[in-house]
Structure 1
Amino acid sequence: MRFRRSLPTHSASAPAGTVRRAGWAAAPAALLALALALTGCTRVHTTSPSTVRQEAGTTGKGAFGSVDCRKAKCIALTFDAGPSKNTAKLLDVLKDKQVHATFFLLGKKHVERYPDMVKRMAAEGHEVASHTWSHKILPEIDPKEIREELRRPDDAIERITGRRPTLVRPPQGRTNDTVQEIAREMGLSEVLWSVTAKDYETSDSALITKRVLDQADRDGIILLHDVVPGPTSKGYRGTLKAVPDIIDALKKRGFTFVTVPQLLAPGTPQPGAVYRP
């Protein structure tokens, strides 16, 4: 039997990106059900990388790359919302550090504007995935729009790289049963995270680095961003500067950087599943 963690996700009436954890597991079942009904929450079941590996046993077909995360202390570095004019410098850093990452790309104004960066990501061994077409909050739109948000970036990425993405990160990590069912139909797995630097809030590279290092653990999935900020945005300016320090510090702690599919190997991402350490 597959072990899954239950993660509450919220409707449009709840604050964006809010996740409640503490205290819920201990609540009586009836009280918990009432609370979920009143807040508009549904239970989203997530599966950890270690569970995927354990279930795959020795017969799984996932690609290890250069490391077996059943034995090594692995962590996945992921970037949302690119590509952008910042991407070339970021790819230079990753190449210099010999680290492969997973890029969750936006279609509108990003993939369509920087196809050469998408092609370079794939050519240099990074996992190219989707962050939807225009960053709409998926549980807040109708099923037809959800399908378009998932289909259009995948079509564009496949045209550029020759490979259709199998992973998607829902904006703000917001998902529900409808999103999962549509993702399953479209052959997509959802990927959340365990480490966030909130680099959309600060340009302080030292703070971004500290936040990542404070949260990093084995099988972790680190969320950072690739987008150059607008004139009024606080975030992303310090991310590029922080990445080399994050990589160096975590390597000193014995971590090996892998893509999300490598983190699951010898298991493979399953359509409709939601992965989170």
Structure 2
Amino acid sequence: MRRRIRLRARAGVALAAAAACASAISGCGLLDRATTPADAREAALKSAPDTKSLPTPDCGIKKCVALTFDGGPSKPTPKLLDLLEAKKVHVTFFVQGKGHTDTYPRTLRRMAREGHEIGNHTWTHPILTDLDTKEKTTELTRVQKDVQRITGRTPTLMRPPQGRTDGEVSALMKKLGLAQVLWSVTAKDYATTDTALITRRVLDRTRRDGIILLHERYRGTIPAVPEIIDTLRRRGYTFVTVSQLLAPAVPQPGTVYRP
């Protein structure tokens, strides 16, 4: 069964990388070498095959999916947190700095307190591959410091804006202790307020080990979340954070993770 999962994951990586190159996303060769959740788990088990320490849930057995949100916290985020608490779902938030962590610190603190994973999505959302090393470093370290100051925790995951990364970005991420997390499903909710369309795009494209990308600050998104959660649960999916999806592997700084 693990072999079938691994083959499906590798096929997904090839398709995703091809789509990225066709869209002129920077670093196509790097995306070709992205690590899938299944491969990360398998490598960890090979290096330390202690079945007593398998994570709960074990995404090598269960059909897992990670729900992620970019660009918060924002004014509507507490409404999403209420919903997630009611549904008993933990997600990964890739937070932005300017206008977000510096504006809604209480919401950021609540995210951490309620067990959600917090990653870095830069201070002002620039294309990192367009910046020099000093600019890149500033964009990332300001968020690291803000999150640590507000929550007491320093992020170990980051999502490059627009998914644009390359060898220079990866080298800096390794230095800063940040693993890069891309995605397999996007509803493009930044371009529509149609909740039904957002829901349909997610449900049509979600597969095992998927990483779903949404943005809670757009009007059509939060209303789509209950049906997304309920329908995927009926289909047998277990919701996990990104780190849980990779476990027992530990996200490695600089590495690009993509289903």
Give TM-score scaled by structure 2 length: 0.88
Map 1:185-200 → 2, pairs under 5 A: 185-200=175-190
Aligned to 1:275: 257
Per-residue deviation, 1:41? 5.5
Map 1:165-176 → 2, pairs under 5 A: 165-176=155-166
Map 1:62-211 → 2, pairs under 5 A: 66-211=56-201
Per-residue deviation, 1:66? 3.9
- The one-letter code matched in structure 2 to 1:48 is T
- CA displacement, residues 140-173 of structure 1 (integer Å, 9 cap, x when unaligned): 0111100111111011000111110000000000
State how far apart, in whole Å, the 2-side matches of 1:106 and 1:142 are: 19
- CA displacement, residues 176-230 of structure 1 (integer Å, 9 cap, x when unaligned): 1100000000000000000000001111111000000010000000000022xxx
Aligned to 2:34: 46
Q: Does 1:266 align with 2:229?
A: no
- The one-letter code matched in structure 1 to 2:227 is D
State how far apart, in whole Å, the 2-side matches of 1:82 and 1:178 are: 26
SS state at 2:180 partner: strand
Per-residue deviation, 1:60? 7.4
The structure-2 alpha-carbon separation of the partners of 1:249 and 1:8, relative to structure 1 and needing over 3 Å to count, comes to closer
Q: Is the 8 A contact 2:68 2:91 kept in 1?
A: yes
The structure-2 alpha-carbon separation of the partners of 1:116 and 1:65, relative to structure 1 and needing over 3 Å to count, comes to farther
- CA displacement, residues 226-268 of structure 1 (integer Å, 9 cap, x when unaligned): 22xxxxxxxx211010000100000000000000000000001
Q: Is the 8 A contact 1:8 1:41 kept in 2?
A: no
Aligned to 2:43: 55
Aligned to 2:220: 238
Q: Is the 8 A contact 2:183 2:212 kept in 1?
A: yes
Structure 1 or 2: more helix by fraction? 2
Tell me the matched-pair count.
243
Long gaps (5+) in structure 2: 1-8
Per-residue deviation, 1:112? 0.6
- The one-letter code matched in structure 1 to 2:83 is V
Per-residue deviation, 1:20? 2.6
The structure-2 alpha-carbon separation of the partners of 1:41 and 1:67, relative to structure 1 and needing over 3 Å to count, comes to closer
Q: Does 1:222 align with 2:222?
A: no
SS state at 1:57 partner: helix
- The one-letter code matched in structure 2 to 1:198 is K
Give TM-score scaled by structure 1 length: 0.82
State how far apart, in whole Å, the 2-side matches of 1:140 and 1:260 are: 27
- The one-letter code matched in structure 1 to 2:34 is T
- CA displacement, residues 112-158 of structure 1 (integer Å, 9 cap, x when unaligned): 10011111111111001110011010000111100111111011000
